[in-house]
Amino acid sequence: MILKTFAPAKVNLTLHVTGQRADGYHLLDSLVVFADVGDRITLMPAGQTTLEVTGPKADGVPTDGTNLVLKAAALFDQPVRIVLSKHLPTAAGIGGGSSDAAATVLALAEMTGDTRLPDVTALGADTRVCLMRQAARMSGIGEIVEPAPGLPVLHAVLANPGVDVPTPEVFKALETKQNRPMQKRLPQGMKLPAFVKWLAAQRNDLEAPAIARAPVIGDCLQALGALPDARIARMSGSGATCFALFDIRAQADAAAAALASAQPDWWVQPATLS
């Protein structure tokens, strides 16, 4: 049996930091969606578990036990050969490693016939929401995941200027860690203009400290916001990937082509988010 699976990019439309526990973990309230761009994973039974990383973003991706894909595979009693085709930048605020791990868990559950998924807590805060692979509200330290139905289809340009922004440093630089969460009820059934207006009143609390550490993120946001037809620009996660939203996919495609031409060293992709 050979299984091929897709690991979509995770985009935080909002990211409110609402507190910090005594053990140091931060409390979040985030509206998460998933893109139609991502990594690709192939699994096949083998005598022992191995990982090969290929693809345009393979450089620097570990193939040892520190990779979340291998940690995910270790949750099953099924040795496999894994080929990870890496298309998403790493440590980029779009959950690449977490989505890879979640895709591996789902594929191995299918391969082994396990009806109950294993506990993925050890695989990081984003892995649980990445198992859902649809619009969701993520809260607590990432362990509380609830579907967020009724969002409009969103068309976007994703851009990463190629700067390394370690998540712990961004959280450490956040001045206020007791911020307002989103309202209890999230919007449902809104047309895109109304949803963008609602979204503009929300936040990514990590945006400012990330820009302070890597000012090019601010340049990226400015470039996205200046694209023709862009409605809003914001950073995802702890950075450095940012996004801009558009009314239709054709606008996002054209804007992505223009930005990629102007910034050939950036990772730029048009995407549809859902």
List CB contacts of 159: < 8 A, sequence separation 6 or more.
Answer: 220, 223, 224, 241, 242, 243, 244, 259, 263, 266, 267, 268, 269
Active site residue 10: yes
According to DSSP, the β-strands at 136-140 and 242-246 are: unpaired
Rounded-to-integer distance, Cα 211 and Cα 221, Å: 10
- The two structure tokens encoding residue 14: 């909002």
- Given the residues 10, 57, 71, 86, the one annotated as active site: 10
Q: What is the 3-state secondary structure (H, E, C) of 11-68?
A: EECCEEEEEECCCCCEEEEEEEEEEEEEEEEEEEECCCCEEEEECCCCCCCCCCCCCH
Q: Is the dihedral of CA 80, 85, 91, 96 positive or negative?
A: negative
- What CA–CA distance (Å, rounded) separates 135 from 158? 17
Q: Give CB contacts under 8 A, 24+ apart, made by 226-233.
A: 227/157, 227/255, 227/258, 227/259, 228/254, 228/255, 228/258, 229/255, 230/157, 230/255, 231/192, 231/193, 231/196, 232/196, 232/199, 232/200
126 labelled catalytic: yes
| Active-site position among 29, 126, 205, 229 | 126
- The helix or strand, by DSSP H or E, that contains position 174, with its residue range, turns out to be none
Q: Are 81 and 44 in contact (CB under 8 A)?
A: yes
Q: Catalytic residue numbers?
A: 10, 126
